[in-house]
Structure 1
């Protein structure tokens, strides 16, 4: 790989941090620019589920499986990364669809196990009503996303990267090529700019005439105060997805990506907390809420010097995207697993 390319990464969430770390490790001169600090905006509010679970075509499943393996590789390269392979218990589907999901993913090589109420109670003893039918994937896990992003950025800085607190006001173009960024602290030049700014990415890209078709619907997720250990892993019950963080907070939503907050988000949050307390023995949490974004990975066609990496499933995909983006930016090698996810699939 090239040892001298100057790259600016816009965004310090888990995706920006991973790309910055991989680029720095590969020898690039990297500057990370963020106006929200290490961890970004969406990353702190992520459910942080690492999985290759239901609802996706096989081609996307393959990318996610690879990303799960890359998390293990990354943890070996950066010891102490806050990562736990705690397993996931799911029954948030009608029985027929749950069976179909289990059969399909088992045929793809996913380590999925059908479980009854007795086995579910062994996996998660705090459940008030263990499901009669669920599926369990022991290889699924969670990361503590802000701590992971901070660890990646700190190690990138140790290896020579710069992390700057500033806002990017525009991409700078010279003869049709992106040659840097204009920031609240002045112009900065680079050979390549990476947009990994999550929900802020469309406004930045628009300054170069590039439309990013990213949807950012609101999604409500609640966080409890730190509490005694109630959950061993991920729980995906009907309209109630939960996990417990390393510090003891229970994170919950009606969907892992955050449910519809409705016209009265406070009331929706209260209802969600009531459902959480009813589902777990001994739970008594308090609330906060958040939202997150959508996926594009690759170079912006027709504009040299610009790479875009914004996506939902950011926590799952982060280490693979960091590795693949680095290879593409420095060596021009695009991993086949990224083939479907370029910006070129959208009409500009």
Structure 2
């Protein structure tokens, strides 16, 4: 039985733990933070392929949705739902181009009129003339999902800070932590923004963007948002407890801001937008989660073998959508079952 050490307890590391344990590995997870991670806990949790940066990226994200469904079949009770997304972040010709482009790729797209929108979302205040509906899209709290996958994997979890990777004869052998060394047959780094620092002593630079993220939750509301809603001013969904979950950035997936601004100002602006979307409701701040999102320099995921044998890398945004499929594909490659064409454009070697 091979022993795999995974660095990181967010949704990417947890998904890998689940897949590798299912293939018979003895899995140990080491993480500084509690199970669920930091970036995963601050994620909006929108599972989609309507946002993509290249055709290869689209296909990986689309397969990510299928991988989430496979997970829910294997593990009933996961915190994953499929309400679909009502989208009008673009209007007019740009909206038509989005619908045409996605349809050409095989994505399911429904074109809605103002009447259709009002029927699906009667609580919405500013009603657009048209919108798109993406029925394949879903939502999950990635931190909750991570905790469920770690529990299902049976992995041993060690809460410690990794100081460095260890190697012998040019091969990864584990990690040195502030609690002592951990030996393993192979190592997978799924440490988000901490990945670059662990790789640097090996002479490998993984360029990362600075992308702070803030997600807020409101007080519970009646059922006013039965879909994931993506508007020009705000993205929002409603969780099982009735709380509105909203990223502070209006278009958080393509947000390029390197700073958030004053916390009270940002939160109040987000609440104002939510109150405009759902007038007549007492919408107040309840809690927040903030983290640096793990975004490689080109915005695309990094998944594959590291700079030395026995070392693997998995870092990406959005981990919420991609974690299960990347875990499936990397686990197969780690076990020498197959190299996945879906990952060919996303190898770490592109930054070498």
TM-score, scaled to structure 2: 0.92
Structure 2 unaligned blocks of 5 or more: 296-300
Aligned to 2:326: 321
2:220 and 2:334 map into 1 onto residues whose CA distance is 41
Aligned to 1:297: 303
Q: Secondary structure at the match of 2:111?
A: strand
> Does 2:195 align with 1:201?
yes
Aligned to 2:273: 275
2:192 and 2:236 map into 1 onto residues whose CA distance is 24
1:63 and 1:83 map into 2 onto residues whose CA distance is 19
Q: Secondary structure at the match of 2:124?
A: coil
For residue 200 of structure 1, report the CA deviation from its aligned partner.
1.5
2:36 and 2:56 map into 1 onto residues whose CA distance is 29
Give yes or no for contact 1:19–1:323 (8 Å, CA) kept in 2: yes
Match of 1:30 among 27, 32, 43: 27
1:139 and 1:299 map into 2 onto residues whose CA distance is 31
Aligned to 2:170: 176
> Does 2:344 align with 1:339?
yes
Q: Secondary structure at the match of 1:114?
A: strand
For residue 289 of structure 1, report the CA deviation from its aligned partner.
4.6
Bigger drift between 236-245 and 284-293 goes to: 284-293
1:236 and 1:162 map into 2 onto residues whose CA distance is 39
1:144 and 1:320 map into 2 onto residues whose CA distance is 17
Q: Secondary structure at the match of 1:242?
A: strand
Match of 1:166 among 160, 165, 177: 160
Aligned to 2:236: 242
1:308 and 1:92 map into 2 onto residues whose CA distance is 33
Q: Secondary structure at the match of 1:337?
A: helix
Q: What is the root-mean-square deviation in Å for CA atoms of aligned residues?
A: 1.6
2:202 and 2:195 map into 1 onto residues whose CA distance is 12
Structure 1 unaligned blocks of 5 or more: none
**Where do 1:61-100 residues align within 5 Å?**
61-100=58-97
For residue 201 of structure 1, report the CA deviation from its aligned partner.
1.3
For residue 332 of structure 1, report the CA deviation from its aligned partner.
5.6
1:220 and 1:153 map into 2 onto residues whose CA distance is 25
Deviations 1:115-134 (A, max 9, x none): 11111112222101221111
1:140 and 1:329 map into 2 onto residues whose CA distance is 29
TM-score, scaled to structure 1: 0.93
1:201 and 1:249 map into 2 onto residues whose CA distance is 33
> Does 2:128 align with 1:127?
no
Q: Secondary structure at the match of 1:155?
A: helix
1:155 and 1:54 map into 2 onto residues whose CA distance is 30
Q: Secondary structure at the match of 1:111?
A: coil
Flag the structure with higher strand content. 2
| CA spacing shift, 1:62–1:217, aligned 2, 3 Å | same
Give yes or no for contact 2:46–2:320 (8 Å, CA) kept in 1: yes
| CA spacing shift, 1:232–1:99, aligned 2, 3 Å | same
1:147 and 1:289 map into 2 onto residues whose CA distance is 14
**Where do 1:207-226 residues align within 5 Å?**
207-226=201-220
Aligned to 2:16: 19
Give yes or no for contact 1:91–1:238 (8 Å, CA) kept in 2: yes
Q: Secondary structure at the match of 2:6?
A: strand
